[in-house]
Amino acid sequence: MKTQVAIVGGGPGGTASAMFLRELGIQSVIIEKETFPRYRIGESMTGECGAIVRELGLEDRMLKDKHPIKRGLTVYGAGAKNSWFVPVMARTEDGKLVEEFTWQVRRSKFDQMLLEEAIARGAELVQGQATEVLTNGNGGVRGVRVRMADGGMQDIKAEVVLDCSGMATFLANHGVTGPKYRGNYDRQIAIFSQVVGAIRDEGPHRDDTLILYRRKNHWSWFIPLDEEVVSVGVVVPAAYFAEKKESKRDFLVRELHDLNPELKRRIPEVKLVEEVRSVVNYSYQVRQFAGPGFICIGDAHRFVDPVFSFGLYVTMKEAQFAAQAVKDYLEGGNRDQPNPFAQHIKLVEDGYDAVEDVVDAFWEHPLAFAAFTHVRYRDEVIDMLSGRVYGMDEPPRVLKAMRKLLKRDRSMDDGISRPLGSSYTPAA
Ligand SMILES: Cc1cc2nc3c(=O)[nH]c(=O)nc-3n(C[C@H](O)[C@H](O)[C@H](O)COP(=O)(O)OP(=O)(O)OC[C@H]3O[C@@H](n4cnc5c(N)ncnc54)[C@H](O)[C@@H]3O)c2cc1C
């Protein structure tokens, strides 16, 4: 089988890639190993993620499907002694901040909708698991070998492979990219489920995201998924979870009452309506994640920490950037360069560095961060948490202030992200 672009993974990264490629007249095949609908964590969108969904022409569908409307994010400090709110706002063309909303999504439903939409727009779906990378002998990627649902093998030859396999990091695991490094939050565990009967605010902020803080790297999320159900998750150092010697379920139920009084008030009785699941070691970064014939998208090359819900946005935005980079490549652009996607890498890394610095500043300097959101840099914090982190000529003042607090210098010019000041170590 031959196509212009083979996409490994039919999650939001893969389907957004297929749709953006299609808009540019490029044919793609999506290879997906699971049968949809399938469960995924990652349910709260940033403001700019909503903007991408709108750019894909899916706003009416989102409203019809009744995904809860998110207008902002409230963080409750330790002991619920204080709290701060950051609204979802858009920037107009003349630079004004205006009210906007985004969505919370039950991923099984949202991801299936995206996959159906990508197929309806012309992408082909191959149900199977990519197991090997096909190369052209000079290290260039030319496709993938797939174990089909019926057990047979099929080669899919392509001019470009987009790795949208999420945390499975398909190309990194096959040694195509540079090394994979552990991130700052790799010794964390997230344990999560869904509850009914939770108390929500009345009015327009009923379906907002709540973040509840206990101490550094110990927190919880509260994300409404429909009229009845709220997604809840507790994120802690893995060592803390191990010390407790509890089942995941017992741990979650107890933490939902111990972690923060505001969480206990909102969930007076814990009635779980979903399996209790977990994710560990989710923080990493892959070097040289794009090269001749391949680009890794979103989680397939980097993930920091879920606290401010950047994952879906980053993955869908990178899909949009990658579609343009692929178009240029197919038309012969930068083929004489050692890395034809060097500019794409720089654009994406600069944006992700900003995300990482915002997240690190929150964990390392929570009081300063809260002060920034209230007074000093309110508008810029709104921009950052919405996801306006790409293509900035100059870092905004708030990002400079955060980097100063972190004693971190990002002023490199070779396009390689250097997480100075963080605890990155090469993977064993
Ligand atoms: C605890 C936690 C909480 C999070 N909360 C949020 C949040 O609130 N908001 C947010 O925006 N993000 C959140 N995220 C991040 C979010 O889950 C991810 O960023 C998002 O799912 C990435 O989408 P994706 O399409 O890149 O990958 P995925 O959604 O993981 O999709 C990848 C797809 O690839 C398929 N696949 C993998 N390997 C192969 C293969 N070899 N062959 C064929 N198919 C393959 C998989 O079956 C899967 O369907 C959270 C993450 C964690 C860990």
Distance CA 257, CA 273 (A): 17
Where b means 16+ CB within 10 Å and e means fewer, 378-416 reads bebbbbbbbbbbbeeeebbebbebbbebbebebeeeeee
Architecture label for domain 188-280 = 2-Layer Sandwich (3.30)
pTM of the predicted model over 0.75: yes
Residue 43 pLDDT level (bands cut at 50, 70, 90): very high
Give the residue range(s) of CATH 3.30.9.100 domains in the chain.
188-280
Average pLDDT, the chain: 94
Does 422 score more than 60 pLDDT? no
Q: What is the mean pLDDT of residues 96-115?
A: 98
3-state secondary structure of 376: helix
Residue of 20, 32, 148, 321 to mutate, ligand 1, most atoms within 8 A of C-beta? 32
Tokens representing residue 326 in the block: 């692929």
Nearest ligand 1 atom to alpha carbon 190: 1
Q: What is the mean pLDDT of residues 197-221?
A: 97
Backbone φ and ψ of 285, nearest 5°: -150, 135
Atom 31, ligand 1: residue with shortest CA distance: 11
Pocket lining: 306 vs ligand 1, CB cutoff 6 Å? yes
Give the residue range(s) of CATH 3.50.50.60 domains in the chain.
1-66+106-183+283-428
| Residue 425: exposure state from Cβ atoms within 10 A (0-12, 13-18, ≥19) | exposed
Cis peptide before 37 (omega within 30 of 0): yes
| Residue 364: exposure state from Cβ atoms within 10 A (0-12, 13-18, ≥19) | middle
In tens, the pLDDT along 324-375 reads 999 999 999 998 899 999 999 999 999 999 999 999 999 999 999 999 998 8
The larger pLDDT score, comparing residue 184 to residue 303, is at 303
Region 1-66+106-183+283-428: CATH code: 3.50.50.60
In tens, the pLDDT along 73-91 reads 999 999 999 999 999 999 9
